[in-house]
Chain A
């Protein structure tokens, strides 16, 4: 028994405070800085991406004129007289995006309306995780699915369809985006307060009328934002189009023929044997820059829509 330690908790605490002060102060002073640096990593990443793209693209434009890049409709990087006109890749990308949106928007939105307006709580608890699983399927798996299932199916339906075409990957990219559009739209619709719905129902509206005339207009900004974000995903999608779309950069719009998107071109070069420092190597940065700008604009647009048209209940 040590009589000197016979003291109250308060004295014990007081004693500890005096001893441990410096260590505690260090943490108190230091941690905010450490945490700030963690948060700043994301800013550094953005700077890194922009610097990478700008610096390497500069090498590309030392050889290829901007006029050719935006003016020419031929993308022949492998020719003895290579031509770098970006339009075929842009057209291919947009073709895929349009097909994808034709699939994803109607299905994504009807799913969202059903989940938010019709489904019981129990049904929702089952259905939403399944949509989440669909959202978690890797793109490589979707690519495999496009090539081994969707394309053969389409060939049966459309005689003369090329094995590599824009239609099949377009549809599958659309399927990939469904969960994204559905879940963002559903969030927007679910956040329309119950009292607004009840008000409409009490006037004798049917569920459909409530959904289309009350909920959808109120949630419109979220719905549009989901579509814009979906488009951005479609533009940036890589593996599905690489696997099932072929590698034929063409400015002609025909979904039944092979295409090449911006992303697929980048992969093609990365897998090929274009040496470091060649113009072909630098071309992927030029294409990447354009891709980055496209998706960034889409994301900014989606952000702006949600912020600008946010409903206040």
Chain B
């Protein structure tokens, strides 16, 4: 793909017209039967050639402009500081209640609305990121593949406060998120951000698959746990005599499992929107690695430039035309001789 393009390439046929000045002159015909009667004059020939060239340029430029000459949009690679981030977002229906575990009323924000607001800020601040978004609830769902387009990420994040589904299948969600890093995301700058308000037992088979994935595609792992009032936290330990099993303490055991993956891992427990904001800011600061991302330079129309060239060329032509003098005009030097010549004819 070349850098220049035409909207209507068939109009380039008009370029044939640019040959016309080679065969005809804009100047008036003279009654002199042959220019052999005039002595050779290098200056005159040069001026004649220049006028021809101006005509060719003017017509060719107009033809190019009419064909819609433009520079195509170009994708350039830029280096920046950011990360390749997969956002894995819990869309279970518990996300639609507040941190106090109520239905939001008045100015209260549900967990999903808070997450939406803060994640939108996060992605808006980080221009050099490539981001993919996935959701999980009863089933894992890929939403937007890894992209440089932040509008797309914003639209995906905008949907997270819409009604969610029943369950929280975090294991398969993580497996999906691991698979969403593409080849273009350099290995040193991959981050997986899990945003959830609860955890669940991860199937033994899914655990094995996750361990494989973690070994194959190492990422930095963040778990942003939106803790609801009255629910168990990541660091709650079972009372003596109580069974320490994932069915009773899913958050604690998810944390233990994620630690066991042997990846750089941080868990943030947030009980309010302010704490979520602080956690996101910390992730923001931690994820500053060199990345390459693509930026699109939009197409640029060049037809105005063509028309400008045509205007200048034909302007010079006009100047030439206005300076045209004829033997029979009588204006040449205003000499009596030529006046007499005119009178005789």
Interaction A to B: no
